[in-house]
Structure 1
Amino acid sequence: MKVMETGEENQTRIVKDFVNRLFNSVQIHNPNEWEFQQAVKEVLDSLIPVLEKNPLYINQAVLERMIEPERMITFRVPWVDDKGNVKVNRGYRVQFSSAIGPYKGGLRFHPSVNASIIKFLGFEQIFKNSLTGQPIGGGKGGSDFDPKGKSDLEIMRFCQSFMTELSRHIGPDVDVPAGDIGVGAKEIGYMFGQYKKIKGAYEAGVLTGKGIGYGGSLGRKEATGYGTVYFVEEMLKDQGLGFKDSTVVVSGSGNVSIYAMEKAIQFGAKVVACSDSSGYIYDQNGINLDTVKQLKEVKNARISEYIKEHQDAIYQEGCSGIWTIPCDIALPCATQNELSQEAATMLVSNGVKAVGEGANMPSTQEAVNTFIAHNVLFAPAKAANAGGVAVSALEMAQNSSRLAWTLEEVDMKLQGIMKDIYSKSMKASKDYDAPGNLVVGANIAGFLKVAEAMIDQGII
């Protein structure tokens, strides 16, 4: 005997069919863009309960419009190396959504950069920026240029060529890039100088992550790492836990990793491992952060050099083995999809209590599912690592008002923003019947604000 569907079950089936058709369309129109497809799939699955309660979002094609970038810019970047050879790289800027403010998102210079990675990062940025509560839309950009091994003059010439094209598409009220992997204060400085020369105007708000002497914000360098720890601490507090007396493993050793380690140590944790692209170090006595900073921020050396000064530490080639180290809290802060299902299973078997994503989408979907299935507290990137773009927005505010806030003022605002992101994400997870699932909560909370703005502004 056939069981009749209830009205609610029928609506759920209709919405799931819609989501499946939409994702199939994304796959067809974005072939081989695996990172972008992965990011879209996670968001679509999270939004099913929202679409069930609010069919207007389907009728108004909000998701179809949100998934398709407002603008995707690809351009040639010619430059000359120190030997006089002409080199050519590819530049990108995706302007995904301006529903709640000018496009905002970093520039990544790395050989792995391609259209898929830029689109995945830009799509994630829509929701991340929405969660901060700041008036900024979603964008991202970069190039397959590799700054490693290049002289300062070569980097300068590349940045000037890159900005010569990018300058046509950005502005303080249009699109405001910042730094990301491979783009720090030096690269931002070269690009800002070129933009200023081309425009003939001092538009401080066109880039964030600038040097303190010409419009940068105190606390920007630390913001992503600090913000990740502030968010995870809120998540832990809800369960009667905290960083104090916890063992922590942090992947990476760039800005995000260094300042996540610094704040975790300030909160009373013992950080025992970190890594770079060549391998990882394990120091049972606790990582000496001064040594890591000296190696990475001053000498630009490999993390393997750490064991020369700390004889009890161990260095291992390869990055993935870092997740075999038992810890209470894991903070993946290196790059996308660095933490696999196998690594997640190992962390779970070793008793990990919480995972906080400091990098963008560092855990595969299978790894995320593993953590959630085993009741590991999980802080997704679009919520946990939003501190960087939040302080970038604060830098924009300071530039607009021609003011400079103290480090204490910026840090206090950052803490408030991260607490608010946690609160909004947790509330959304409860409102849509997934209590405690911060992946679902962050996606929904970020989506709702942008979706409402899109509907208010009409079909554009």
Structure 2
Amino acid sequence: MSLFNETLNWIEASSPHENEYLQAAEEICEYIVPIVNSNEAYKANNVLQRILVPQRVIQFAVEWEDDKHQCQVNTGWRVQHSNVLGPHKGGTRFHPQLNLSILKFLALEQSFKNSLTGLSLGAGKGGADFDPTLRSENEIRRFSKAYAKGLYSHIGPTTDVPAGDINVSAKELGYMFAEQLRATGSFAGDFSGKPLSLGGSKLRVEATGYGLLYFVANMLEQIDESMEDKTVTISGAGNVAIHAAEKAIAMNAKVLTLSNSRGVFICDQGLTQAHINWLKDNKGKVENALQELAKEHDGEYQKGAPWTMKADIALPCATQNEIDEIDAQQIVKNTRIALVEGANMPCTKPAIDKLTASSLLYAPGKAANAGGVILSAFEMQQNSAMRYDSEETLDERLQQRMHEIHKACVTESNHLGNADIDYVQGANVAGFRKLADALVASGF
């Protein structure tokens, strides 16, 4: 049996029915098994299995009081995937459909992403099956603090530094940080993405979306193009999508779409900063922000997805597996230059096969959406040094890091003998080599 099949069978036997995790592992194995097979030290130290499996999974009950003074119970998790390169680092997600498979996939992807940054970062991911959309502000506050209570003995500035993710913003992280401070008595930067008033960093909210566009700009420069006058379709209407759109507009590109689970907002003339500002001001105040946006500014809101629109660049920024094979066919037909992932694993395996078989440039989220964790690392550095850096300084450093990630992908792709740049292979192998070399140096 081949190492590829042997490894996937081993993972499936130990993690049955964890489809998202198995999907991520299969994609990674496709690119790194040949590297392992050609390196005796990697084989002797079993780096493949050691990289794919999380070091530990923490699961706990989150007991909290609702507004009716009743005790509610949710499940909380923290997947601490790897700390061979630094403290565990990754986001926290509150979502009713969250499960261990999703968190293990996210933590695995995070380990490669954090490796690519070149910073001293391990990987982790956490969250709870809590639906904040059905809860009051007081309930969200109480739940966030209860979640932090379950975590406090497992995290710390050199152990594990959680950040935000879907439905976990600076507000929730502020509640968690305050609970951690009360429990430990130590103002140590145990969370990143905090409010500025609690030691957070400027540019953290914008970083993932901005970093995505910096990566796209590097891809275009590689083929003697620029963002100037390019048309862009974006899915999603959350933090990543909004700030990706904002940065694209600042680069003089024309952003045609944003979307949510109910439909797509289309603006043929291109979104403006006024659209972005309205969304920032009103997103949490109305039930369907994109539908309301269409009433306030130029554009239409309708059923469907962005991918029927013709554009130069497609940026999926919503959630995992949002693009299936049919969507990918539309993207290949309607997109001229590139698809670059702003979300984590937004494409299904059949969709990836369609994209990689096409002439489109295709870059994975583990490389292109690393801006958020880069700024989290900068926040950790600022906390450790007890300082605040300016937005201009942080933006310059973010641009440089995204340039270095792009360079690593290109260098690895060229080293592997590709005639054209294979960003997926380059990102996976470049991230893998750093992790594998650290594991070999660690022994077993």
Contact 2:41–2:440 (Cα < 8 Å) also in 1: no
Match of 1:316 in 2: 302
Taking the aligned partners of 1:116 and 1:290, their CA distance within structure 2 comes to 39
Match of 1:217 in 2: 201
Taking the aligned partners of 1:242 and 1:115, their CA distance within structure 2 comes to 40
Match of 1:122 in 2: 107
Taking the aligned partners of 2:355 and 2:224, their CA distance within structure 1 comes to 19
One-letter amino acid matched to 2:301: Y
Match of 1:388 in 2: 372
CA-CA distance at 1:288 after TM superposition: 3.4
CA-CA distance at 1:299 after TM superposition: 4.7
Match of 1:333 among 290, 310, 317: 317
CA-CA distance at 1:53 after TM superposition: 2.4
Task: Among all aligned residue pairs of Structure 1 and Structure 2, give the percentage whose two residues are the same amino acid.
Answer: 46
Match of 1:407 in 2: 391
Match of 1:33 in 2: 18
Contact 2:382–2:389 (Cα < 8 Å) also in 1: yes
Farther-moved stretch of structure 1 (77-86 vs 260-269): 77-86
Contact 1:326–1:351 (Cα < 8 Å) also in 2: yes
Taking the aligned partners of 2:276 and 2:260, their CA distance within structure 1 comes to 11
Q: CA RMSD in A?
A: 1.3
Three-state SS of the structure 2 residue aligned to 1:359 is: coil
Match of 1:274 in 2: 258
Q: 1:22-61 maps to which residues of 2 (within 5 A)?
A: 22-61=7-46
Contact 1:104–1:175 (Cα < 8 Å) also in 2: yes
Contact 1:113–1:143 (Cα < 8 Å) also in 2: yes
Taking the aligned partners of 1:457 and 1:351, their CA distance within structure 2 comes to 45
Contact 1:292–1:306 (Cα < 8 Å) also in 2: no
Taking the aligned partners of 1:212 and 1:298, their CA distance within structure 2 comes to 21
Match of 2:125 in 1: 140
Match of 2:173 in 1: 188
CA-CA distance at 1:370 after TM superposition: 1.4
Match of 2:142 in 1: 157
Taking the aligned partners of 2:399 and 2:157, their CA distance within structure 1 comes to 25
Match of 2:292 in 1: 305
Residue by residue over 1:121-143, the C-alpha shift from the partner in whole angstroms, topping out at 9 and shown as x without a partner, is: 00001110010011010110001
CA-CA distance at 1:208 after TM superposition: 0.4
Q: 1:214-363 maps to which residues of 2 (within 5 A)?
A: 214-300=198-284, 301=286, 302=288, 303-310=290-297, 312-318=298-304, 321-363=305-347
Cα 1:191–1:363, aligned 2, differ >3 Å: closer, same or farther? same
Match of 1:456 in 2: 441
Q: 1:168-183 maps to which residues of 2 (within 5 A)?
A: 168-183=153-168
Farther-moved stretch of structure 1 (361-370 vs 135-144): 361-370
Residue by residue over 1:59-87, the C-alpha shift from the partner in whole angstroms, topping out at 9 and shown as x without a partner, is: 21111111221110111111111122221
Match of 1:423 in 2: 407
CA-CA distance at 1:237 after TM superposition: 1.1
One-letter amino acid matched to 1:235: M
Taking the aligned partners of 2:246 and 2:214, their CA distance within structure 1 comes to 12
Taking the aligned partners of 1:88 and 1:251, their CA distance within structure 2 comes to 33
Contact 1:295–1:305 (Cα < 8 Å) also in 2: no
Taking the aligned partners of 2:369 and 2:353, their CA distance within structure 1 comes to 20
Q: 1:101-116 maps to which residues of 2 (within 5 A)?
A: 101-116=86-101
Gap regions ≥5 residues in structure 1: 1-13
Three-state SS of the structure 2 residue aligned to 1:404 is: coil
One-letter amino acid matched to 2:302: Q
Taking the aligned partners of 1:147 and 1:106, their CA distance within structure 2 comes to 17
Gap regions ≥5 residues in structure 2: none
TM-score normalised to the size of structure 2?
0.96
Count of aligned residue pairs for this structure pair: 440
Taking the aligned partners of 1:395 and 1:299, their CA distance within structure 2 comes to 26
Taking the aligned partners of 1:351 and 1:95, their CA distance within structure 2 comes to 38
The list of structure 1 runs, each at least 4 consecutive aligned residues, that deviate by more than 6 angstroms after superposition, is: none
Taking the aligned partners of 2:281 and 2:147, their CA distance within structure 1 comes to 25
In the alignment, is residue 446 of structure 1 matched against residue 431 of structure 2?
Answer: yes
One-letter amino acid matched to 1:108: R
Taking the aligned partners of 2:202 and 2:157, their CA distance within structure 1 comes to 19
In the alignment, is residue 72 of structure 1 matched against residue 72 of structure 2?
Answer: no
Three-state SS of the structure 2 residue aligned to 1:315 is: strand
